[in-house]
Chains A and B, each alone.
Chain A
Amino acid sequence: MRFFIESVAWFYEYFVFFYGLVLFLSYLLLVFLSMIAIRKYLKRNTYTDNDAIIYSPIAPGISVIAPAYNEELTIISNVHSLLTLNYVRFEVIIINDGSTDKTLELLIDEFSLVKVDFAYDEKITTRPVKGFYKSTEPSFSKLLVIDKENGKSKADGSNAGINASSFPYFVCTDVDCILHKDTLVELIRPVMQEPKRRAIAVGAPLRMANSCDFEDGELIRMRPPKSMLPRFQEVEYIRAYMLSKMGWSLINAVPNVSGGLGLFDTEIAIQAGGYNYQSFAEDQDMISRMIRYCCEQRIKYAIRYIPKTLCWTEGPPTLKVFVRQRTRWGQGLLQLIVQHIRVFFNPRYRRLGMIVYPYNFFFEFLAPIIELTGIIYMIILVILDRINWPYALLILAFAYTYAILMSIIAILWDQLTFRNYRTWKEALALCAMPLFEMFFYHPLVLFCAIRGYIFYMIGKRHVWGDMQRRGFGRSTAHVQREHTPQTVRVAQDV
């Protein structure tokens, strides 16, 4: 019996070590891939002129879709901001997803909206739509407001927007996100520059808006968040977008385009069935289905990411909201793996089957479980006094220093490319966060992931709660959905 236990322990120790080694090597690979991708983007940027696209009559049209639920405090300024995006052919579709406050009334008053008879083709099934509103003022002619019954999710609202969209591409965002004025140009450019494949989705980094300065819906100054929790998230976002997403983008194996901001091919999204309102990770689920559709139809697809930050969103300000959000992500990841189990190592689905899903499974889904078992194993060893403390601490230091290096490299890429923070003190303050991440933030993320898995397995439904938004220099607003850049999961494990 003792021999058996010792054999298992020996096997487990070596498995964990080599698992960690492969994981770390994959991060190293991403560092190099992201470096190449960012350099390529920057060089290409030096000779492409945004103005040519912004004012071109032959540029493809884009629908901007933003669902809103109880957004009365921020809706007006945010819609104004969306209407002033730099692009020639676009429309803004706001979906009032059964708000119980005055969101719709405020929109009607501010934009002189009147109800219109809109021929709505329900290509994707949604909750019933109550009405469509257009502005009588020519300056707001790009605006369409859809009033629908509450669908209990952002996905349902987005689907209604996709059904009503008129253009071959749509940008999905949140109504409380602040977008860069050139968002549409920046997102459509990779589509236009794709030489051989059909670009079906393009994403861009999101950043924390918590301590940034905004004026009339435009970013004036970018700062790292002052509160600790959003600041940890800022580092996590930088890592996720600058290292992971950019790296995967180079080899066309992007696992997900964030729900906070992404441009999608309307036709493919509709053929793939749009967002799944029952999914906890609706954005990643839709991307997976879009890729599956392309593979089944033999369409050569591409999903690209750009390193330029185009969207600022408010991170969960309290621990309670944060835990709820991350638990949902955990549920979403497991749900996704179960739903797309047929994709695993299936060469028919090319990179999705051979890279994205195996990576998701082994290094995103399994990582928290292995980590948890590792902690339990260590506790047992401590109780049995079978631990070699110097060596254990050395291995811990190995993980710790490597994790710090990855975060610092991500911040370095960010600083070398866009120098987002004005002072060096702000940049250095952000660099200090990885030192503490392992002790405070990472255990929290681990707890949430495991909690999410358990919730999924016991069938606990996620309750769509109000997330307290503080607004960008305004008073509190409530939003129904929680912002879900699932992509940051990769970074959590570092």
Chain B
Amino acid sequence: MRVFYFIKDLILNFRGLPLVIQLSLIVILTAIAFTVIALFVMLFYRYRRYRREKKLAKLIPIIDDLIFAYISFENSDKPDPRFAAKSDIVAKLRRYVRGHRQLAVNRLIEYKKDLRGNMSYELNELFMELNLDRFCLRKFRSLRRFRKIQGLTEFATMGIPVADAYILPLTHHRSREVRIMARHAYIKLSKNDPFKFFDSSSDRLLVWDQIELFRIITTNENITIPNFGSWLTYSTNPSIIHFCLKLVVHYNQTEAVPSVTRLLDTRDHDLRAAAINTLGKVKAEQTEDRLVGIYNDQPLRCQIEILKAVGRMQTGRYIDFLTNEFLYAGDFRLRKAAAKSIVNNSRTEPGLIEQLMANTTPENQLIMKHCMDPLIKYV
């Protein structure tokens, strides 16, 4: 009772209280109110999610069953006897999907990831039959950028062509993420020069962007692979050059070697190191003399790449150079790279390793043994 009167007194005489106490009272009341609201919100969201999951648990098997019936209707020896025609399945699916179109899109995408060939095309057909393309296309007009991204991702994953007029404006969107996803979608879906962004993009390609693009390019059967060397020559965007170097290696584009070689004159050490790495991986033997020639003027990371490249080319012409670096280089990493390259070239000079082992320091012997050990995967 005393507490009650005390609180009542505080409220009635609020203006007469010291500032510190006034502030404290305001904070106490606000904190209590927000704590109760926070607890309520937490429980409400949990309950809502629980209801949703319960609903989905019922709905997903039905939708999955109908999708499966649709894609296996013409691709299976025993089509589902419940349906006389594919249109029956679509009609039934429409009933379930009404109000749950996002769920239908998600399920189709899940199937799409696992299926190839005819069944994959059937999924696209079903997507269109259910008018989900219109549903996804509407997301492009959303003011929320993540809705736009969602729409782009859905089209790109489903591999459903969209008119360039829808995607191209998004490639100049003010949000970097939207621009990235629009580029991915364009490369995957456009029939008109999918690599045109390499010509004009000034955005830095992030590593994850490169990973995603790499996957799109290397797994898309409908893309005609160009000579990536052309962008190495005239692109002013270092990240695009880095990315093209990775593609040159992946497709072993020996025709790009002259363009890659031109990068040896660049001032950017990272780019030069990447170019040397590429020359080694595509075994551009014609550049070996040049690489060894510039070796002494290079920073450490480029020197390491030159040693590795000479090792990968396996011509055996510069075994003396490698031996010299192995024996006399001051940096541990240089000696290690030289040793690995000597091991790679050992077939061209039998007995060299034994000879080196007999005449070098214990540390160098250990480096050589390390490089020769097949159990050590990463050198």
Question: Which A residues are closer than 8 A to B by beta carbons?
Answer: 17, 21, 24, 43-44, 46-49, 52-53, 56-61, 91, 114, 116-119, 121, 134-136, 141-142, 166-167, 189, 191-196, 390-391, 394-395, 397-398, 401-402, 404-405, 408-409, 411-412, 415-416, 419, 424, 427-428, 431
Cα(A427)–Cα(B28), bound, Å: 24
Given A47-B150, A427-B46, A119:B39 Cβ within 8 A:
no
B-side contacts of A424, CB under 8 Å:
43, 46-47
- Complex contact A116–B375 (CB within 8 A): yes
Residue B214, interface by CB 8 Å: yes
- CB of B119 within 8 Å of the partner chain: no
B57 interfacial contact with A, CB 8 Å: no
Q: Which of the segments B78-86, B204-212, B288-296, B341-349 contacts the partner chain?
A: B204-212
Specify the chain B residue showing the minimal Cβ separation from A423.
B46
Starting from the known contacts A193-B206, A415-B45, 13 additional A-B residue pairs (CB-CB under 8 Å) come to A17-B20, A47-B150, A52-B215, A53-B211, A60-B207, A116-B373, A119-B371, A394-B21, A397-B28, A401-B27, A408-B39, A409-B38, A427-B46
Question: Shortest beta-carbon distance, B166 to chain A, in Å?
Answer: 17
B38 in complex: contacting residue of A114, A196, A394, A408, CB < 8 Å: A408
Tell me the complex Cα distance, A5–B373, Å: 77
CB-CB under 8 A from B43, the residues of chain A are: 424, 427-428
Identify A119's interface contact among B176, B181, B208, B336, CB under 8 A: B336
- Say whether B211 contacts A52, CB under 8 Å: yes
* Residues of B contacting A56 in the complex (Cβ-Cβ under 8 angstroms): 211, 214-215
With a CB–CB cut-off of 8 A, which chain B residues contact A17?
20
Select B27's contact among A49, A193, A390, A402, beta carbons within 8 Å.
A402
Determine if A419 and B49 form an interchain contact, defined as CB atoms under 8 angstroms apart.
yes
- Counting chain B CB atoms within 10 Å of each CB, which of A91, A136, A408 scores highest? A408
Q: Which of B142-178 touch A at CB < 8 Å? A: 146, 149-150, 153, 176-177
Min C-beta distance of A32 to chain B, whole Å:
13
Contact A395 B146 (CB under 8 A): no
Task: Jot down 24 A-B pairs with beta carbons below 8 A, ordered by A.
Answer: A46-B150, A49-B212, A53-B211, A56-B211, A56-B215, A57-B214, A60-B207, A91-B377, A114-B375, A118-B370, A119-B369, A134-B375, A166-B379, A192-B208, A192-B211, A390-B6, A391-B21, A395-B21, A402-B31, A408-B38, A411-B42, A427-B43, A427-B46, A428-B43
Residue among B153, B246, B370 making CB contact with A47, cutoff 8 Å: B153
Find chain B residues with CB under 8 A from A415 CB. 42, 45-46
**Chain A's nearest CB lies how many Å from the CB of B325?**
15
Chain B: CB-nearest residue to A166: B378
**Nearest Cβ in chain B — how far from A136, in angstroms?**
7
- A119 B366 Cβ-Cβ under 8 A: yes
B177 and A44 form a contact (CB under 8 A):
yes
10 nearest CB pairs, A to B: A117-B369, A166-B378, A192-B208, A119-B370, A401-B31, A192-B207, A398-B24, A134-B375, A405-B31, A119-B367
Chain B nearest CB: distance from A241 CB in Å?
A: 17
B208-A195 in contact (CB<8A): no
Q: How far is the CB of A300 from chain B (nearest CB, A)?
A: 13
A59 to B214 Cα, complex, angstroms: 10
| Chain A neighbourhood of B20, CB < 8 A | 17, 391, 395
With a 10 A CB-CB cut-off, give which of B28, B204, B207 has the most chain A CB atoms.
B207
Q: Does B34 contact A (CB under 8 A)?
A: yes
| CB of B358 closer than 8 Å to a CB of A | no
- Chain B nearest CB: distance from A330 CB in Å? 28
Known: A117-B369, A119-B367, A167-B378. A394 touches B28 (CB 8 A): yes
Q: Which residue of B lies closest to A424 (CB)?
A: B46
B41 at the interface (CB under 8 A from A): yes
A61-B28 in contact (CB<8A): no
Neighbouring B residues of A409 by C-beta, 8 Å: 34, 38
Contact A136 B375 (CB under 8 A): yes
Select the residue from B210, B369, B376 with max chain A CB neighbours within 10 A: B376
Instruction: Give the distance to chain B from A93, nearest Cβ to Cβ, in Å.
Output: 11
Point out the residues of chain B lying under 8 angstroms from A24, CB to CB. Answer: 27
CB-based nearest B residue for A390: B6
Residue of chain B at shortest CB distance from A51: B113
Q: Min CB distance, A410 to chain B, in Å?
A: 10
Asked if B28 and A398 sit within 8 Å, CB to CB, the answer is yes
Asked if B32 and A412 sit within 8 Å, CB to CB, the answer is: no
Provide the residues of chain B in CB contact with A411, threshold 8 Å: 42
A415 to B39, CA, bound (A): 11
Task: Please report which residues of chain B, range 14-63, place their CB below 8 angstroms from some CB of chain A when the two chains form the complex.
Answer: 18, 20-21, 23-25, 27-28, 31-32, 34-35, 38-39, 41-43, 45-47, 49
- Check if B45 sits within 8 Å of A43, measured CB to CB: no
Given contacts A141-B375, A404-B31, A405-B34, contact A193 B150 (CB under 8 A): no
> A390 to chain B: which residues have CB within 8 Å?
6
CA distance A428 to B47 in the complex (A): 13
B101 within 8 A of A: no
Q: Contact between B208 and A189 (Cβ–Cβ < 8 Å)?
A: yes
CA distance A195 to B207 in the complex (A): 9
A49 to B113, CA, bound (A): 11
- B251 interfacial contact with A, CB 8 Å: no
B177 / chain A contacts, CB cutoff of 8 Å: 44, 47
Q: In the complex the two chains form, what is the Cα distance from A136 to B46 in whole Å?
A: 50
Q: How far is the CA of A7 from the CA of B210 in the complex (A)?
A: 65
What residue of chain A has the Cβ atom nearest to residue B154's Cβ?
A: A47
How many Å from the CB of A47 to the closest CB on chain B? 5
Report whether B212 and A52 are in contact in the complex, using a CB–CB cutoff of 8 Å: yes
Q: How far is the CA of A412 from the CA of B37 in the complex (A)?
A: 10
Q: For B38, what are the chain A residues with a Cβ–Cβ distance below 8 Å?
A: 405, 408-409, 412
- Contact partner of B32 (CB less than 8 A), chosen from A60, A167, A192, A401, is A401
B375:A192 contact, CB within 8 angstroms: no
Known: A56-B214, A60-B207, A192-B206. A116 touches B31 (CB 8 A): no
Task: Return the chain A residue nearest B211 by Cβ.
Answer: A56
Any chain A CB within 8 A of the CB of B332? yes
Contact assessment for A401 and B28 in the assembled complex, using a CB-CB cutoff below 8 Å: yes
Interface centre among A47, A121, A411 (most CB of B within 10 A): A47
Beta-carbon contact of B27 and A398 below 8 Å: yes
B333 within 8 A of A: yes
CA A194 – CA B208 in complex, angstroms? 9
Known: A17-B20, A415-B42, A427-B42. A59 touches B211 (CB 8 A): yes
B341 CB → nearest A CB, Å: 14
Complex: A153 Cα to B367 Cα, angstroms: 29
State whether B27 touches A58 (Cβ < 8 A).
no
Nearest-CB residue, chain A, relative to B373:
A116
Contact call A195/B27, Cβ cutoff below 8 A? no
Residues B375 and A91 in contact, CB atoms below 8 Å apart: no
How far in angstroms is the closest Cβ of chain B from A362?
A: 20
Q: Residue on A with the closest CB to B335?
A: A119
Report A-chain residues with C-beta under 8 Å of the C-beta of B214. Answer: 56-58
Contact of A419 with B41 in the complex, beta carbons under 8 Å: no
Cα of A405 to Cα of B363 in the assembled complex, Å? 61
Distance, CA A44 to CA B146, complexed state (A): 8
Q: Give every chain A residue within 8 A of B206 (Cβ-Cβ).
A: 192-195
Q: How far is the CB of A65 from chain B (nearest CB, A)?
A: 14
